[in-house]
Structure 1
Amino acid sequence: EQFATTDSSGNYLISGLIAGTYTVVVDATSLPAGVTVTGDPDVTKDGKTTVTLTAAQALTTANFGYQGNASFGDYVWNDLNGDGVQDATDLPLSGVRVFIDLNANGTREANEPFATTNASGAYSMTGLAAGSYTVAVDATSLPSGASQTGDPDVTKDNRTAVTLTSGQALTTADFGYQGNASVGDYVWNDANGDGGQGATERPMSGIRVFIDLNANGSRDANEPFATTNASGAYTISGLTPGTYTVAVDATTLPSGTTNTGDPDVTKDGKTSVTLAAGVPNTTSDFGYQGNGAISAIVFLDRDASGAQTSGEPGISGVTVFLDYNGDGIRQTNEPQTTTSSTGAYGFTGLIPGNYSVVVVSATLPAGVTQTADADVTMDNKTTVAVTAGATNTTPNFGYQGNASIGDYVWIDADGNGTQDLTEIPLGGVVVYLDLNSNGTRESNEPFATTNSSGSYTINGLTPGTYLVTVDGSTLPAGSTNTGDPDATKDGKTSVTLASAQSLTTADFGYQGVGSIGSSIWN
């Protein structure tokens, strides 16, 4: 029986035949193990066919097809960190062609079988016969800028050799590629809620930002992420070109925060970005406003009691800041405020955490000594805890001045405005500093009451100009101001104090309307 053996291209030829009828048969013993005939010139799939030759005829229709029962695959992935290992958060690469490189030239030819990775990065070449194959990735189908980092063998050349046995399903022909695109880069505490990154707004650390592959708003185990560092920065790198949904993991945000800064118009903590090869995208910044606050006061602690009591006003114009790095010196990125006319100050929009509150001593009035601090150390600073939805009102700072005003109120019996030797003091009269110049003593306005000697002293004051005023409601009925430090007899006068000055010229005389008299006789 005549025979021929197929060449490397699967072709065979039995020549020198005369006209006649022949049965052409495939020798099953020469077939690879496990194959099944699937192509036969006649309807019966039995590996043989009958042909009739005419003289000099070259018949080329006796073709036979066989399907193997072996396969290989199965995965091509975006190796984000370039370690060559399929990590849980590495991404699949879809649309990549993997082929059998029959001529081992690294380029897919039209006759070379291939498979294309699906959305999960999986591929499979099935129906193969037992044997050795070169499995290769078609580089023209890879994303732009991708570099190979994972290969079944030690050589990163987009291909590997595999040997299949009958019925084997080989799943180790996996290939990893790292992209050169990235997305970032900042999450911050948008304290004023304006959506802009203010120079004094605090970065937010420990916040997870992830690629939301299924757009469900929650981070799943397979979704790549990065965590913001102490500077609020993050980068998800090694990505391939494409469109991604970048989202903030809400479970890592401080309690009580609201998204106020978002790259798109919708404040939902996520945004869509399109990445190009080799181009870092640094526009995915997110701002969050907290609902915590600090509200307190800087006050004149005249009696050095450590607490603000009646007659102790706030100190205006004092700078207070949040000392993020704890060095006691205000940096340009640290928020500051100035106390109001009542000494009040505050910081709003804060996220939960501990804050170091510092008074800038250079902005305090000259000559003051600290007497009140939220902690036991008089060092112009204190650390307070801010919780979600609450206002911390404890960081009050008190300072005692070293200046004073006095000192005498008397009965000016003759009404000449001069303290005569025979004129008596007026006790029980309240003298106060009319801070708002409204002529009525308020609870925060410093005061003193004349003693039985007519003397008074308002001490613990800071340098400045004060309107010293006699509280008319504490004067004897019918009395008239006749002695006043200035020319106007109105029971008040303006004085200017220097640091450590003891001013004793604010004296007031009052003439009564009563008299005593009768006769003396022998």
Structure 2
Amino acid sequence: MLAKINRQKDFKIYLIAGILVAILIGGLLLSGVASAAPNNSIGGLVWNDQLDADGIQDAGEPGIGGVTVNLYDAVDGVIGNGNDTLEKTVLTSPSGAYLFDSPEISTPNDYYVEFVIPIGSGLAFSPKDAGDDTQDSDANTGTGQTDLISLALNEGVGNIDAGFYTPPTIGDFVWNDLNANGVQDFGESGIGGATVYLYTFDDTLVDTQTTAYNGKYSFSGGAVIAGDYYVQFVTPTDFTPSPKGVGAANVDSDADVGTGKTAVFTVTAGSTKDDIDAGFFQSATLGNFVWDDINGNGLQDGGELGIPGVTVTLYDTTDAEITNMPTNASGYYTFTNLVPNTYYLHFSGPIGYVASPKDQGANDSLDSDIDTTTYKTDNFTLAFGEVQADMDAAFFNPGAIGDFIWSDLDGDGVQDGGSEVGIDGVTLQLYRDVAPIGTLDGSDVALGSPVTTASGGVYDFTDLPAGDYLIDITDTGGVLTSYALTIGSDPQAVTLSAGSDYNNADFGYQEQTASIGDFVWTDLNGDGVQDGGSEAGIDGATLQLY
């Protein structure tokens, strides 16, 4: 093509392959692109790769004027050895063209060109060597320097080009989501020092940034070109990702709670994508222990082991289930990454077991926290970053003590059946034999309410943990007033093992319906006859019945 001439002075006219080319004497190509370069010259084009930043000169991508271009003589044929010589500096023409020729270039020799990004322009270099050498960019994206250009005698090259583009900017904010709602609320500050990765859509790592003190981050410059990307946020230590996609795009969290990755998005040259945010909150942790409370006292005593496989379920105050898990082989459970909130727990309880008393003793880390009927804890509130490791539950394998109070007609202490029937209406009280010494003393503890014999003299104390007990016949209704005990002791001592049913605590009573008596007197005349008069009764005499 024939170059268009914009000025009418200070230029040379070259005839190359039958085409006129206008060159400024100062070394600047005014306009147009020649099909061949003059002898002993290096030239090319600096253009705005604004459409796609692909490093290829596309239609509609104009040249950039006023860009500094340096020509270096690579003295020893190696770039960057410290002895390179700056031969000349030129500025590109308004159309983006430049040319170095004689006398600064002599052949044969080795040169390289350096393109300088205009200060404050925000431009970056396009990808290097992206295609056809007559159309691509030859500048290193980091240094702006070309590869070594080795000119043969009288050789000229005219395709040493550089593409620039305005990089997209990708950001923006990592914040402390105090209420864990996934929305940037007033007063929620940024998290500094968080790691953020930028990947292309096909998982190639482009750049890594660390958030500033205020939680801000930005990807820009030469590493970022127009294209499709995603961002991955690394969860800061002691934090948990907030819910994704809650609320408006400019105030929500875009990070997947599992991977930390955003969805893929597209940026164009010069565009700004400043709504790629991630919220994190300081999660709470909850545990701790479910144990076999052998003695049923509701306290973790030495030798009492954990119960594995108990399902522990976490609910919020609306009774919505949050999560659940079984206790491990040692009886422990732990819920992590919990949103600070108010909750309660439910424990399934092992089959055949019952719950121990709640809130026994002064040490909350050793007691049981569940209601003995519902197996639920009270409501409790977890704060940000809190570790609550004292929500415990005690269960024991219950046993029973009973059996029978009967009318022992013949007083032989044996249940003969027939007319020897049970006695209903007799009350009994069960005590924990604390000492244990087998008799009631001040240390013994009454357990529950008295039971009353019924259905033929039967009684039963149930849901008892292993231990030492005393059965005391209180007979508050006076049913046994005219009876005497013929077998068993009152109180009766029983040692109960875990889960056992002790049904030999029987009591036999014989009704006392006959009497023998009458009178001891002074038989003055020794005739064995109560004569009256002075033969008076004798008080205080002891008698033994055989």
Identify whether the pair has TM-score above 0.5, normalized to the shorter chain: no
Larger Rg: 2
| TM-score of the aligned structures, taking structure 2 as reference length | 0.34
Name the structure with the higher strand share: 1
